[in-house]
Amino acid sequence: MKKLIMTTSYQGLPLACYWNSITKNILLISQRHELTVFTCFGFFKAKKTLKITPKIAIEMHFRKLSKEKIGIIMLKIKGVLLKAQAIDISSGDKVALASLNYQQLVAR
Amino acid sequence: MQHDMTQAIIDWQQGEAASQENMYLIIYDQLRTLASSQRRKVAQKFGEQTIEEHINSTTAIVHEVYIKLEHANNEQFSNRKEFFLMIARTIHNILVDQARKNAAQKRQVELTVLDERIDDDINMAVFEQSQQMIDLGNALQLMETQFPRQAQSMQLKYFGGLLVKEISALLAISISSAEKDIAFAKSWLKLRLSE
């Protein structure tokens, strides 16, 4: 049900990102902080910010590729990409970003 | 991939919303592979200590590259060649800046803690490794002014992680010319660094 999508750290703070394959929500955990991003069952673009320290805020972005069952989860700091991972929305399996082409990204 | 990149660059320059993010996503995996190999190379050659903790991961290097690219918005690049050169330079600059910072810290320690002898050997080793990175950075800058094509080939090969055939395609030269350029750049750098 809850699948680990990516882990990383920023300035020594651990970050873990999970995908709930039933509700299609994303859960970002960093130490004692948690953030849930609702994606309306993986259909909508979503963005939320988790403030970990007074100076560090992690932005969690989700976007679904048009006509595909693929979603892209991105962690950003001040709008700059920190880490990204594409997933299969229905199963939560990871999809390599290199396997996507530009047309898939820009399709509307 | 080639066509995707070209299209992404064109869209970015035309100010298409979200084109920058799309381009970053397209090159993301390639950039991670590149950053990871560069980090390993620098760590092997100059020692793990030359890489500071906060930059000691592939994710951190890729993030730094994106930060630099954000600030390079006004810098014009019209094709893949210029884009890859910019990326190669950016990764190189991040690692050289890190080496410069380490060298500066070492000097600071020497000025303020004159009597401190603990870990002196380790500090000296880090300083020497950082100095090598700085010397390499300076030599590359000089080569860029004197032999631009050879310097570009070198940067694309060692900092951009591209294959010789990819370099020859990017720079529109033959494979043998690219090989000769890299060999020339290597021996030029060797000579310069041994002076």
Q: Please tell me the distance from the alpha carbon of residue B9 to that of residue B11, in angstroms, as a whole number.
A: 5
Residue B109, token pair as written in the block: 């320690």
Q: Which of residues 95-154 of B touch A (CB under 8 A)?
A: none
Residue B184 at interface with chain A, using a CB cutoff of 8 Å: no
CA distances from A101 to A98, B11, B25, B26, B142 (A): 8, 15, 10, 7, 38
Domain ranges (residues) in chain B = 2-194
Q: Please provide the average confidence, as pLDDT, over all residues in chain B.
A: 76
Model confidence at A18: pLDDT above 90: yes
Q: How many domains would you assign to chain A?
A: 1
* Domain, as residue range, for A41: 2-106
Chain-chain contact of B8 with A102 (C-beta, under 8 angstroms) = yes
Residue B33 at interface with chain A, using a CB cutoff of 8 Å: no
Chain-chain contact of A82 with B7 (C-beta, under 8 angstroms) = no
Q: How many CB pairs under 8 A join A and B?
A: 55
Chain-chain contact of B54 with A81 (C-beta, under 8 angstroms) = no
Q: What is the DSSP letter of A41?
A: T
Specify the pLDDT at position B118.
Answer: 46
Q: Amino acid identity, residue B133?
A: M
Model confidence at B16: pLDDT above 80: no
Tell me how many helices (H) and strands (E) chain B has: 8, 0
Specify the pLDDT at position B46.
Answer: 64
Lowest mean pLDDT: which of A9-23, A54-68, B15-29, B44-58? B44-58
> pLDDT tens, B98-144?
777 776 776 666 666 554 554 555 555 556 666 777 788 888 888 88
CATH number at residue A14: 2.40.128
Chain-chain contact of A96 with B67 (C-beta, under 8 angstroms) = no
Model confidence at B173: pLDDT above 50: yes
Pairwise pLDDT comparison (B15 vs B118), residue with the higher score: B15
**CA B190 to chain centroid:** 18
Of B25, B188, B156, nearest to A100 by C-alpha is: B25
Specify the pLDDT at position B184.
Answer: 92
Contact A31, A52 (CB under 8 A): yes
Beta strand residue intervals within chain A, DSSP E: 2-10, 13-20, 26-30, 33-37, 46-51, 57-64, 70-77, 80-88, 94-95
A105 to chain B: nearest residue by CA?
A: B22
Of B27, B26, B8, nearest to B16 by C-alpha is: B8
Q: Please tell me the distance from the alpha carbon of residue B41 to that of residue B103, in angstroms, as a whole number.
A: 19
Model confidence at B185: pLDDT above 80: yes
Q: What percent of chain B has pLDDT over 90?
A: 5
Q: Which of residues 35-74 of A touch B (CB under 8 A)?
A: 72
> pLDDT tens, A50-95?
999 999 999 999 999 988 889 999 999 998 999 999 999 988 899 9
